[in-house]
Structure 1
């Protein structure tokens, strides 16, 4: 068994996480159960009613992210979201901004690789007007040329700034190496060329094809009854098309085992080490969570941070995590170090991976990080209305059960040192893709 010394800070954090949870004044909803219901219009949603504060929060998502875009119009999902919040058919930008302020509506729309996201928040005394305005934004977008031009100009400026960032250039290289010709290889924000090619009709086409009820997931929480929530949801989403007509996307065939380098005159060298991931429905998922958290999570006191940072002074820290997307799963570790220390840092990291696969962790280590995972989830996902409503939508997108908040704890508690070692052998038997960015980076 590996018996790496555990600094007091991580022992204290793991012990305090569940203790602090008991002392925090969390919203009453944290003690409530998620409820699934169907609106009169036939739309399914999850909700929690909590009358403690006069606030209503909603989160929603459509399966209409950047993976669904035409390659030549990459970035259209993000532009569609941004332009929709500029104006409606009835309200120009100034009028919409004034109305949003008048009714106290906080409305956000965005798009990532996989999903088109939305969130709304308002007070219960303005709920009727605020959610009516949200419905207008969602059902009557203007998509005017001047709105598109204004939003696109900002997006292109951001792309030009990003192009000067070596980490952004490295990410493009990494995406291409990992994903090949899959849509994940494209930058989510698009390129200057693809954004320039987009016209208002492209926004309308993506909106009509992608914002549909069949892929819609909704969470709503706060001072709202089921009947009131149903009326809000039907008004906002009931008139949207029933079925999406966006193209289907294949599961990504992940290419692992490449050595990549971006030479750039930086004061430090960055390393990114990527292994095949584990899907959330895989029995090894929870042992993998414990493993990765033990190696590179939980702040500076993880195994890799102890060995690389504290003992050898090779870097300021090592991070890591499971990246679960709609069409791929990856596990990635990263660190930055002085150029002359890059090779040694990578060797130490690889040795730790090999050692934990061969010897496994101790029971004390596994118990420690299980407690941390349970406590941190409660704080991050259940400790606020924003966290709760987002968790409701994310859990639906992942096809998790209504009681997952409870069953997740049971699944983590069932993890043993033997299961962690077994998943370490599974993960680290692969040759990773290693990306180096720095002044002396070579493949």
Structure 2
């Protein structure tokens, strides 16, 4: 049976072709729960994506890592089934469940055969309403988390990310690693985990996407069955936090021949009217596959890194424009100077028409490739809902890209790229680079 579900999962990736013409239905269950659906009956298989807004930012004071640990425990037994019994029941149904925690959401992914739909939904319902949180399971998963934390302590990229977040966001939940620390995770009790579950899993923050062999009417019934018994409300989401890291350099000493750098400054929220020009500008600077400006200047022309990229990060509670690269200690200072120069040039001179045209071609041409499977489409639909995008966004997105003019892009470049506020967090032993 396990082989069957893996085969169907592979075939499901071929169910919907790589295209952006996808018919989305807005479904409301009899009980009032909403979801977006793409009905596709080529295979007797459905992918379901569920997200609850709030995520690890809901960790209570002194309980950092509780939501992350809780999500790792949901399928470790539910109702009358212990961890082994739950796993055996899932395997018998050829169902697949995934549970994950992020800074702004906790997510649940499910895939199941049409013939086993009712039983697969019932099993998932038990995990969402009757998680056992058995002590032996808690200790087993806690051990896995602690092992991951120990590994992160010697990973330069993790160290850079933690230092960046702490400096940018301080005591806000964004300011610390959401998996917690050895101290906080070791101290978490079963009651803390139960509280994290109540805080994070509630009807007032739920978003659902479904793709596959299921009708709108069937999905409505499924939603009410799946979420029956969930509390109406969860914990309050924290307040927004301003990006608080000024321009400059922070060096975190670490014994390694190659330093790691994270750099950037404040960005734009997703609903900002200039988001699409900013999106294009970021692609030209640090995207476009291997053809962005920074890849050309830092890697191709000077050989200072194997790779460098930037991205707009419009999180729920703050927004930033961030980049990453690593360089040998002896050339890190030069690489930082090149990045600063490119940042200044973009702010002062903006794009060329050729760059804008190339970016549009790349971005519109690669967009349909994202829709390469039921699970991916379900993920995209949930993200669209959470970002407040219209249901026809997939069809109109490329038009919005193509509508950006050179004047639009260069007007936004002058304010988006702020060389005086550009900050670098460098982990390593970089020659000629000091904190200021």
Structure-1-length-normalised TM-score: 0.91
1:186 aligned to 2:188?
Answer: no
8 Å contact from structure 1 (residues 41, 238) kept in 2: no
Query: C-alpha displacement at 1:132, in angstroms?
Result: 1.4
8 Å contact from structure 2 (residues 54, 237) kept in 1: no
Q: Deviations over 1:199-239 (max 9, x none)?
A: 11122222223211111000111000112111211111132
Corresponding residue for 1:100?
A: 90
Q: Deviations over 1:416-439 (max 9, x none)?
A: 222222222102235122111221
Corresponding residue for 2:286?
A: 296
Higher deviation after alignment, 267-276 or 318-327: 267-276
- Corresponding residue to 1:62 among 43, 49, 52: 52
Higher deviation after alignment, 346-355 or 34-43: 346-355
Q: Structure 2 CA distance, aligned partners of 1:406 and 1:28?
A: 15
Q: SS of the counterpart of 1:320?
A: strand
> Where do 5+ consecutive residues of structure 2 fail to align?
1-12
1:372 aligned to 2:325?
Answer: no
Q: Following TM superposition, where does structure 1 have runs of at least 4 consecutive aligned residues deviating by more than 6 angstroms?
A: none
1:388 aligned to 2:377?
Answer: yes
Q: SS of the counterpart of 2:348?
A: helix
- Corresponding residue to 2:236 among 247, 252, 256: 247
8 Å contact from structure 1 (residues 296, 321) kept in 2: yes
Q: Deviations over 1:384-407 (max 9, x none)?
A: 211110011111111111111122
Q: Structure 2 CA distance, aligned partners of 1:64 and 1:322?
A: 20
Corresponding residue for 2:269?
A: 279
> Where do 5+ consecutive residues of structure 1 fail to align?
1-23
Corresponding residue for 1:236?
A: 226
Q: Structure 1 CA distance, aligned partners of 2:17 and 2:121?
A: 24
- Corresponding residue to 2:394 among 405, 415, 428: 405
Higher deviation after alignment, 321-330 or 25-34: 25-34
Higher deviation after alignment, 184-193 or 306-315: 306-315
1:362 aligned to 2:352?
Answer: yes
Corresponding residue for 1:152?
A: 142
8 Å contact from structure 2 (residues 42, 213) kept in 1: yes
1:127 aligned to 2:117?
Answer: yes
Query: C-alpha displacement at 1:28, in angstroms?
Result: 5.6
- Corresponding residue to 2:16 among 27, 42, 59: 27
Higher deviation after alignment, 416-425 or 390-399: 416-425
Number of corresponding residues: 418
Q: Deviations over 1:129-158 (max 9, x none)?
A: 111111111111111211111110111111
Q: SS of the counterpart of 1:315?
A: coil
Aligned alpha-carbon RMSD (Å): 1.7
Query: C-alpha displacement at 1:169, in angstroms?
Result: 2.2
8 Å contact from structure 2 (residues 257, 328) kept in 1: yes
Structure-2-length-normalised TM-score: 0.92
